[in-house]
Amino acid sequence: MGAETDPTATIDNELSALREAFLPRFRAATTEQTLRDENAKILGKKGELTRILAMLGKAPPEGRKAIGAKVNALKQEVEAGFETCLRDLRKAGREADLSAPPFDLTLPGRVPVALGHKHPISIVREEVVAVFRQLGFAVHDGPDVEHEANNFTKLGFPPDHPATDMQDSFWTKSNHLLRTHTSNIQIRAMTTLKPPMAFIAPGTVYRRDDDATHSPMFHQIEAFLIDRKVTLAHLKGVLAEFAERLFGPNTPVRLRPSYFPFVEPGAEVDIGCVFCKQSDGTRAGCSLCKHTGYIEVLGCGMIHPVVLENCNIDPDEWSGFALGMGLERIAMLRYGIPNIKLMFDNDPRFLAQF
């Protein structure tokens, strides 16, 4: 057999050629990807070294072992060479990053960043809180999950009142409930503080209600005042001041007798319709105020003596008033929002308008 046809010699030649060539090829790669591509051309399934390995089968058995060892040695060299080049390439990349001119962090962004802002309910809550703080009211807080006594019983709700029903309120297995109004804070304040007191209590409330004007979760603010010789006139004065500061000067206020278990007398409060108000202050009537010129905004009344007694406060010495309003309703009036759901969907196109 002549040297030129000896597969062992051919394999040997090819191994030598590859040994010479692989490192310069790796070194020539300037990116990780081209380095990996070059490595695959040699060690991949159809790679050059893999092909040489396949030729081993044709070599005479006596030389096969030695040449096999050479192939394996080269394979290890190629692998080690690849790793070294990869490491060098990454190191060079990192050094280039570090020595590049620094970013100017003070440059303004190319795309203006849209700023978020307050939700209409938050805006209105802060406004109402600000008005009552100006009038000298403190701000109280309380839990969303409440005892039946604080939410209903001590406020004078009879045990069979519909609001106490499973169908109307959210009850827990342990017979607590998600408070249905912020009036629970009245009881919490009266059972922990001594009169006189004046506070408001903003908070989230829950009812089993869900349509265009009702949401199962909504927001209320309660206002509450106890002192000696408080009369309905004080209540009306606070309401007039509130309406004026929130809805503008000379906003008419009217009280309509109404029933709430914890007040006597109780009333619903209307303000002059904000929708059909003319520039001269007159109101023509519109569909939103059902052509009455007035719109309902809250419930109020003089604290019922029984409620005071339930909290160990002497009704002969102390009297007071309470009022409660829905913040969604105030926001809808304030901004002419037609559907309460818009305030819970939180579509940015809606929110951006406030």
User: Residue holding tokens 């002419």?
Assistant: 336
**Distance of closest approach, residue 147 Cβ to ligand DAH, in angstroms:** 16
Residue 277 in contact with ligand DAH, rule: CB under 6 A: no
Give 8 or 215: the residue with its C-beta nearer to ligand DAH.
215
Residue 299 in contact with ligand DAH, rule: CB under 6 A: yes
Residue 300 in contact with ligand DAH, rule: CB under 6 A: yes
The torsion angles phi and psi of 251, rounded to 5 degrees, stand at -70, 120
Interacting residue with ligand DAH among 8, 39, 151, 183 (CB under 6 A): 183
Q: Measure the CA dihedral 192/197/200/206, to 10°.
A: 40
Residue 322 in contact with ligand DAH, rule: CB under 6 A: yes
DSSP lists the bridge partners of residue 321 as 225, 302
Residue 263 in contact with ligand DAH, rule: CB under 6 A: yes
Residue 195 in contact with ligand DAH, rule: CB under 6 A: no
Q: Choose one: 38-46, 211-219, 272-280, 321-329; the region binding ligand DAH (CB under 6 A).
A: 321-329
Residue 329 in contact with ligand DAH, rule: CB under 6 A: no
Give 121 or 263: the residue with its C-beta nearer to ligand DAH.
263
The torsion angles phi and psi of 53, rounded to 5 degrees, stand at -60, -40
Q: How far is Cα of residue 201 from the mean position of the Cα atoms in its chain?
A: 22
The torsion angles phi and psi of 100, rounded to 5 degrees, stand at -65, 155
The torsion angles phi and psi of 309, rounded to 5 degrees, stand at -60, -40
Amino acid present at 135: L
- The residues, any chain, with a CB within 8 Å of residue 310's CB and separated by 6 or more, are 153, 154, 155, 156, 187
CA distance 121 to 125: 6
Structure tokens at 173: 């297995």
Instruction: Give how many residues touch ligand DAH by CB under 6 A.
Output: 12
Q: Choose one: 54-62, 95-103, 258-266, 276-284; the region binding ligand DAH (CB under 6 A).
A: 258-266
Q: Choose one: 2-10, 41-49, 53-61, 259-267; the region binding ligand DAH (CB under 6 A).
A: 259-267
In whole angstroms, how far apart are CA 281 and each of 104, 170, 251, 278? 57, 43, 8, 5
Q: Choose one: 21-29, 242-250, 276-284, 293-301; the region binding ligand DAH (CB under 6 A).
A: 293-301
Structure tokens at 164: 């106490």
Residue 301 in contact with ligand DAH, rule: CB under 6 A: yes
Give 38 or 270: the residue with its C-beta nearer to ligand DAH.
270
CA distance 91 to 62: 46
Residue 120 in contact with ligand DAH, rule: CB under 6 A: no
**Distance of closest approach, residue 273 Cβ to ligand DAH, in angstroms:** 21
Give 125 or 277: the residue with its C-beta nearer to ligand DAH.
125
Which residues contribute to the site for ligand DAH (CB under 6 A)? 181, 183, 222, 260, 263, 266, 299-301, 322-324
